[in-house]
Amino acid sequence: MASHIVGYPRMGPKRELKFALESFWDGKSSAEDLEKVATDLRASIWKQMADAGIKYIPSNTFSYYDQVLDTAAMLGAVPERYSWTGGEIGFSTYFSMARGNATVPAMEMTKWFDTNYHFIVPELGPNTKFSYSSHKAVNEYKEAKALGVDTVPVLVGPVSYLLLSKPAKGVEKSFALLSLLSSILPVYKEVIAELKAAGATWIQFDEPTLVLDLDSHQLAAFSAAYTELESALSGLNVLIETYFADIPAESYKTLTSLNSVTAYGFDLIRGAKTLDLIKSAGFPSGKYLFAGVVDGRNIWADDLAASLTTLESLEAIVGKDKLVVSTSCSLMHTAVDLVNETKLDSEIKSWLAFAAQKVVEVNALAKALAGQKDEAYFAANAAAQASRRSSPRVTNEEVQKAAAALKGSDHRRATNVSARLDAQQKKLNLPVLPTTTIGSFPQTVELRRVRREYKAKKISEEEYISAIKEEISKVVKIQEELDIDVLVHGEPERNDMVEYFGEQLSGFAFTANGWVQSYGSRCVKPPIIYGDVSRPNPMTVFWSKLAQSMTSRPMKGMLTGPVTILNWSFVRNDQPRFETCYQIALAIKKEVEDLEAGGIQVIQIDEAALREGLPLRKAEHAFYLDWAVHSFRITNCGVQDTTQIHTHMCYSNFNDIIHSIINMDADVITIENSRSDEKLLSVFREGVKYGAGIGPGVYDIHSPRIPSTEEIADRVNKMLAVLDTNILWVNPDCGLKTRKYNEVKPALTNMVSAAKLIRTQLASAK
């Protein structure tokens, strides 16, 4: 019985790639140094899977930034502004597309389906010229083969690549991206030919868009693409991999009718209905089923007995020699190796499996199906499953009762937003186009050292508080000198916006090295929600009150919202997600009320990940949005009219949920806008009325580029064309923690200057 891994984490067990990338970007190391780190990481990953007994080992799932950007490079789809003149695409062009440079902005970045991973959105048009411009897929296959590992090269499929793209600037929004299919397939044919010549016998096309709601024209594109590639693929075994949701019946029918395809990969964790489809609609005779039974998106140990039962039922349908045990999706969405967690509670640790352990689980299931079951391994797994089900630390009856009591109320504030804004303005006395930032300020090396030493008990609590107080004072002074209207304390006490809160809530556990890539070199360390959630003590009140005491200007209290804490954590899988979310909402509600009692007049409850959690299928949207929006309202339903509630969202497509955003009933929302070519504004051009305060971001903080005053003023004027003056705020796209002060200060200076310039113009126009 064979085993397969869809993909593997890229950063390395100690984030080796992250540090190599940042060193290269800072000019401290060479391209050769970066490539050496990458080569060593790839070799260790391939060896690990080979040693574990995995038969179908992926290659070309490693990336210096993002697999969709890699595909754009392979196709030579470089926007003109990067002045690429042809040939093999190197780091300079590649990273300019990802991050921008001193003269041109980066390409748009958005969420990869419903995960916290981000991809670079290709920009295409009728005049885009395609050419084979990155040989990465072939080179990595050869690299693995030279090490004695025969891999399955992985490519983003041609149809998903186009469906995930967008019309380039200046191209009609109605441009049919699928019309470019015939233009990109010749490049795919060149890649396939080179892989065959190098000795590849299998090839994997990731076509995750097959799980979306596709129309007949889009489904026809899959048939057309793989029919056109049929002769090129002759002699190869072809796997089409899908993940993140169940595959609709029509898509299943289209996929399983493709003559050129040998095998189909399905996510049987988030796509449980696919299992029913396979059983009811049948499975094509002679084809392979790559059964994704081991969860690639969470850290819980697999219930091996349950998975084995599922696999045995599938074996009866597809045949013993045609069933391959696989992960539900790439393991890049989970942490790397549980071995590195030497301080994690032993009971909780026994319930977990990171990427390295999931590789072992996959192979153990494959061996069990082949009659070589490791009885001791299965017994230990069953004991861990039983321990988790019965552990008293998982359940808190008081919390469950409080969450159950939420039913029957929509938890709206008593007064409408227009009246609240009037009351808040009388108290805050803000100018037209008030300026603010999103929360965090640069996280310096010194600041990280202080937090690290405090955690390691190398400095006292008094020394830690003194250092953080000094940093807050510096951030407050900078903002006052810049003349920003509503201040933030900069979050120097926080390494991560979710981890910080999880550390202070019950029901959460934390890892030392459970890092997961979010985008580029950015890694996050999601907390683990293993039990019922409550707030034993105030979490931010001390720091917020301290910061407010340093200034007469309004100081935001900064919180992470319940939906974002949920979506950016590894969540318990033994109860519905919405039940856990309601528990978190009640905990945040207590914090909001304590901040208000402490004199904080502006409280921001970030819901950066609300859109990210939207199910991939439209039929499931309403239920999710109902409980997600309700959870946000729970957090602030009890505050006074004069307390201004902000929220923040970033790096997703918000236009399709704008009415749910309005339904959140926040007083002010700041929202990413600039990197996505201001497409957020289109929803207001189309007539949606928004009565609360709103701050569409005026510049992209994920790029080192510093925008000019004129550029920002131009963006603000575009906003004023569709939004009322009295509701518009001026702010960056997102928090500033990833930037340096020599980038932040001039960018914010220009932002404030732009706001003042337009205020003057508005006053003179009266």
Q: Which residue in 327, 335, 290 sits closest to 7, CA to CA?
A: 327
Instruction: Give the Cα separation of 202 and 58 in Å (integer).
Output: 10
Tokens (6 digits) for 535: 């707030």
pLDDT mean over 748-764: 96
Confidence of residue 690 (pLDDT cuts 50, 70, 90): confident
**With 80 as the cut, is the pLDDT of residue 653 above it?**
no
Binding-site residue positions for L-homocysteine = 438-440, 491, 606
Q: How many domains does the chain have?
A: 2
Q: What is the DSSP string of 137-154?
A: HHHHHHHHHHTT--EEEE
For residue 397, the tally of other CB atoms under 10 A from its CB is 8
Which structure tokens are listed for 499? Answer: 């981890």
pLDDT of residue 651: 57
Six-digit token pair at 533?
A: 């959630």
Which residues carry out catalysis? 702
Reported as a single tens digit per residue, the pLDDT across 110-147 is 889 999 999 999 999 999 999 999 999 999 999 999 99
User: Which class for 766: exposed (0-12), middle (13-18), buried (19 or more C-beta within 10 A)?
Assistant: exposed
Secondary element (H or E) of residue 290: strand 288-294
- Asked, for residue 274, whether it belongs to a domain, the answer is yes
Return the closest-CA partner of residue 153 out of 41, 40, 46, 268: 46
Query: Of 144-148, 493-497, 723-727, 752-756, which range is least confident?
Result: 493-497
**pLDDT above 60 for 4:** yes
* Boundary of a domain, candidates 285, 309, 331: 331
User: Which residues form the domain of 598?
Assistant: 416-765
What pLDDT shows up at residue 679? 64
Last residue of a domain, one of 331, 349, 383: 331
Give the mean pLDDT of 672-681. Answer: 69
Residues 6+ apart with CB under 8 A from 18: 11, 12, 515, 521, 522, 523
Q: Would you state the torsion angle of the CA atoms of residues 713, 716, 721, 724, taken in this order, to the nearest 10 degrees?
A: -130
Q: Which of 702, 283, 745 is nearest to 518 (CA)?
A: 702
What's the pTM?
A: 0.92
Question: Cα angle vertex 194, ends 192, 195, to 5°?
Answer: 65
Do the domain assignments include residue 738? yes
Q: At 390, list the tokens.
A: 């019965």
**Is 437 in contact with 478 (CB distance < 8 Å)?**
no
425 in the same domain as 289: no
Position 344 in a domain:
no
Question: What is the DSSP secondary-structure string of 389-424?
Answer: HH-GGG--HHHHHHHHTTTT-----SS-HHHHHHHH
Per-residue pLDDT reduced to its tens digit, 142-170: 999 999 999 999 999 999 999 999 999 99
Task: Provide the CATH number for the domain around residue 728.
Answer: 3.20.20.210
pLDDT at 480: 98
Binding site: residue ranges? Answer: 18, 116, 438-440, 491, 496, 519, 522-523, 568, 606, 648, 650, 659, 672, 734
Residues 6+ apart with CB under 8 A from 667: 417, 420, 421, 424, 644, 645, 646, 692, 693
Q: Is residue 381 part of a domain?
A: no
3-state secondary structure of 647: strand
**SS3 state of residue 646:** strand
Residue bearing tokens 């045990």: 325
Q: Is residue 304 part of a domain?
A: no
Q: Are 93 and 134 in contact (CB under 8 A)?
A: no
How far is Cα 317 from Cα 314, in angstroms, rounded to an integer? 5
Give the pLDDT confidence of 466-483 residue by residue, as tens digits.
999 999 999 999 999 999
Query: What gap in Å lies between CA 695 and CA 712, rounded to an integer?
Result: 13
- The CA distance from 104 to 458, in Å, is 44
- Asked if 528 and 508 count as a contact pair (C-beta separation under 8 A), the reply is yes
Does the residue 367 lie in any domain? no
Look up residue 140 and give its two tokens.
């990595």
What would the pLDDT profile of 54-82 be if each residue is shown by its tens digit?
999 999 999 999 999 999 999 999 999 99
**pLDDT for the residue numbered 561:** 97
The SS3 call for residue 316 is helix
Q: Do 612 and 743 belong to one domain?
A: yes
Q: List C-alpha distances in Å: 83 to 79, 97, 103, 151.
A: 8, 11, 11, 35
Task: Give the dihedral of Cα atoms 335, 340, 343, 344; nearest 10 deg.
Answer: 30
Tens-place pLDDT, residues 346-383? 999 999 999 999 999 999 999 999 999 999 999 999 99
Looking at 295-383, which runs of residues are DSSP E strands?
323-327
Start-end of H helices in 147-211: 158-163, 181-198
| pLDDT tens, position by position, 694-732 | 999 999 887 888 999 999 999 999 999 888 999 999 999
**480/581 same-domain check:** yes
The CA-based angle 629-649-174, given to 5 degrees, is 100
Confidence of residue 681 (pLDDT cuts 50, 70, 90): confident
The pLDDT, as a whole number, for residue 321 is: 94
Return the pLDDT at 676.
Answer: 62
Return binding residues for 5-methyltetrahydropteroyltri-L-glutamate: 18, 116, 496, 519, 522-523, 568
Q: What angle do CA 687, 689, 691 make, to 5 degrees?
A: 160
Residue 688 confidence (pLDDT): 78
Helix (H, G, I), strand (E, B) or coil at 693: strand
CB-based contact 758:713 (threshold 8 Å): yes
Question: Is the separation of the CB atoms in 192 and 232 below 8 Å?
Answer: yes
Q: Name the pLDDT band for 656 (thresholds 50, 70, 90).
A: confident
Q: Among 182-196, 415-429, 668-682, which is the least confidently predicted range?
A: 668-682
H-only helix segments in 100-177: 136-146, 158-163
Tokens of 229: 């590639």
Burial of residue 573 (CB within 10 Å: 0-12, 13-18, 19+) is middle
Residue 396 falls inside a structural domain: no
Note the pLDDT of residue 677: 61
Domain termination residue (choose one: 331, 358, 393) = 331
